[in-house]
Amino acid sequence: MAKSTATMSNMPPINRVGAELISATDLSYARGGRIILQQVDISLCRGEIVTLIGPNGAGKSTLVRILLGLCQADSGQLTRQRALRTGYVPQMLKMDPGMPITVQRFVDLSPYQRDMAVIDALALAGVADLVRYSMHHLSGGELRRVLLARALVGNPDLLILDEPAAGVDITGQQEIYSMIKAFHQQYQTGVLLVSHDLHLVMAATDRVVCLNQHVCCQGSPDAVRDNAAYLELFNAGELAVYTHHHDHRHGIDGRVVHKG
Amino acid sequence: MFDLFVAKILLAGVMTAVLAGALGSILVWRRMAYFGTAQAHAALLGVALALYLGVDVRLGIVLVSLLVGLLMWQLQQRSDLSTDTQLGILAHGTLALGLVLLYGSGLRINLDAYLFGDILAISDRDVVIIAVGGGLTLLLLWRFWSALLAVTIDYELAKVEGFPVVGTELLYLLLLSSMVALSIQLIGALLIVSLLIIPVATARRLATSPEQMVIGGALLGSLAVVIGVFVSLRSDIPTGPVIVVVSTLLFILSRLLPARGD
């Protein structure tokens, strides 16, 4: 682990953690003379739920794109389990309205061998009733769930969700998190969630990784998960407040400023 | 008068319309109309080079329009100029270079045939090439259809799911270049993109699946081709413009009907 990483808690993870699915060490990435990622270490095991948080511009998207194989780090190592089945839920879809396509067909395009029917995946994502509808007349929240169904239908080893809660109301967020949790418990999938919200983090998260160009700190959110007052405040069982203790500050240029 | 000659023309024309249904749908879904225009215009440069080198015109067209396709595909990855600017430069640059070479060659060729099509000059060998090339294209489209759809819908999602995204893109560029080469005799370099786009755009309103749009486009394109061929046989008007005018009229008619699809 990099020097700048501080483990927040020694509490054991709640979920049974298995073999390492993906692991990145010492990733660095810069564009246009601007450092976006600096010596980032991150790994994820089967059965583990990791939430990646950080402010806008912290490099979360870049890190996720590197882990997904959509872009290349300038340096560092990326190891992926052989034949890793990755389910990816992007924030949105860049699909032209010129293509007539139903929800059923869209989910069916998943190339993975499967033992789950499309309709069951849609039911898992809570949108079975949309199966015959056009992809072009879905609300933002519905589209997110259909994308989740496409990811789930292939029974992925690793599920990566980019801001699954963005643009979804608090009840919807709670539902999406429940679905992810239920699927994860049934299949022992590794889950990586990305969130820009420092306060709302899925309660079932084993580990929260805070990123701001480098890994600032990571640890379990359990310190606050059981705090009834916080849960009550958000009135949402699947949501917990992650209290964040920085061991350093960032200057306005993003550089680390150590205390003292 | 329905003789063997007309039957051969219709066979070549309908095959072209069917190809246009499939390749044109993808062109529309990918918003690549201008990209297709550039590949088609580059065909004229291919014609010129093929005539200079004494090889089959179609071979020249496939190679040059594939080369232009690859160049545009590369430029799109990183450039300080927008895609439509790049396409504008390449489409008209290659068209003009082709014209300069053809006029400058002193060869006595019928330029109109390449620009607007001259289906009546079709030979048995042309028909065979169109039938075999078209059949091969349809076979490849059928084999890689899921990958083509997935990459068209969302390149990154397809890549994460392990679709061979680069191979699929290259395959599409190759098939589009072949389509240009196979259809230039029917409709001409300037109007090929119309046959690719207009029939499928007409079919869009009635379709509820990607395949319905392809089949609808193929049928409407075939209808336009058949009308175009017969008008052309009875008059001095070249086939290409008639096909495009008929397609456009069908498109306008479809817009007057209530939509059925989504």
Per-residue pLDDT of chain B (262 residues; tens, 9 = 90+): 568 889 999 999 999 999 999 999 999 999 988 888 988 999 999 999 998 898 998 999 999 999 988 888 888 776 677 878 888 888 889 999 998 988 887 777 788 888 888 888 889 999 999 999 999 999 999 999 999 999 999 999 999 999 999 999 999 999 999 999 999 988 998 899 999 999 999 999 889 999 999 999 999 999 999 999 999 889 888 889 999 999 999 999 988 877 665 5
Provide the whole-model pTM.
Answer: 0.85
Confirm or reject contact between A92 and chain B (CB < 8 A): no
Measured CA to CA, the distance from residue B235 to residue B103 in angstroms comes to: 28
Q: What is the pLDDT of residues B118-167, one digit of tens each?
A: 888 889 999 999 999 999 999 999 999 999 999 999 999 999 999 999 99
Give the containing element (helix H, strand E) for B244. helix B239-256
CA angle, A83 then A86 then A88, to 5°: 160
Q: Residue A40: what are its φ and ψ, rounded to 5°?
A: -90, 130
Nearest CA in chain A to B146: A109
Q: Which of A124, A51, A140 is nearest to A92 (CA)?
A: A140
CA angle, A55 then A57 then A61, to 5°: 95
Q: Which of A161, A165, A185 is nearest to A174 (CA)?
A: A165
Nearest CA in chain B to A161: B157
DSSP string, B196-232: HHHHHHHHHTT-SSHHHHHHHHHHHHHHHHHHHHHHH
Does the distance separating the beta carbons of B162 and A111 come in below 8 Å? yes
Measured CA to CA, the distance from residue B202 to residue A240 in angstroms comes to: 52
Q: What was the pLDDT predicted at A191?
A: 94
Options 1.10.8.350, 1.10.10.10, 3.90.226.10, 1.10.3470.10; CATH for B2-255 is 1.10.3470.10
Q: What is the pLDDT of residues A200-210, one digit of tens each?
A: 666 678 888 88
How far out from the chain centre does Cα B93 lie? 19
pLDDT at A76 over 60: yes
Confirm or reject contact between A12 and chain B (CB < 8 A): no
B31, B207, B209 member nearest A96 (Cβ): B31
Q: What is the mean pLDDT of residues A206-217?
A: 81
Query: A132 pLDDT band (50/70/90 cuts)?
Result: very high
What are the distances in angstroms from CA B66 to CA B45, B58, B178, B248? 12, 12, 8, 28
Of A211 and A76, more confident: A76
Q: What is the pLDDT of residues B219-245, one digit of tens each?
A: 999 999 999 999 988 988 888 999 999
Q: Which of B17, B62, B99, B81 is nearest to B173 (CA)?
A: B62
Can you tell me the ipTM of this complex? 0.88
B31, B150, B208 member nearest A100 (Cβ): B208
Q: Which of B238, B172, B183 is nearest to B57 (CA)?
A: B183
Q: What was the pLDDT predicted at A201?
A: 67
Q: What was the pLDDT predicted at A53?
A: 82
CA distance A252 to chain B (A): 30
Q: What is the pLDDT of residues A137-165, one digit of tens each?
A: 998 889 999 999 999 999 999 999 998 87
Query: A82 pLDDT band (50/70/90 cuts)?
Result: confident
CB neighbourhood size of A206 (10 A): 23
Confirm or reject contact between B236 and chain A (CB < 8 A): no
Nearest CA in chain B to A110: B161
- Contact between B114 and B84 (Cβ < 8 Å): no
Q: Residue A24: what are its φ and ψ, rounded to 5°?
A: -125, 135
Both tokens assigned to A55: 């402010």
Q: What was the pLDDT predicted at A114?
A: 85
Query: Residue A163 gets which letter from DSSP?
Result: S
Contacts of A70 in chain B (CB under 8 A): 156, 159-160
Confirm or reject contact between B164 and chain A (CB < 8 A): no
Measured CA to CA, the distance from residue A174 to residue A232 in angstroms comes to: 14
Does the distance separating the beta carbons of B161 and A154 come in below 8 Å? yes
Confirm or reject contact between A99 and chain B (CB < 8 A): yes
Measured CA to CA, the distance from residue B162 to residue A86 in angstroms comes to: 9
Chain A, 197 to 256: residues with Cβ < 8 Å from chain B are: none
Chain B, 131 to 160: residues with Cβ < 8 Å from chain A are: 146, 149-150, 152-154, 156-157, 159-160
The bridge status of strand A207-212 relative to strand A49-53 is parallel
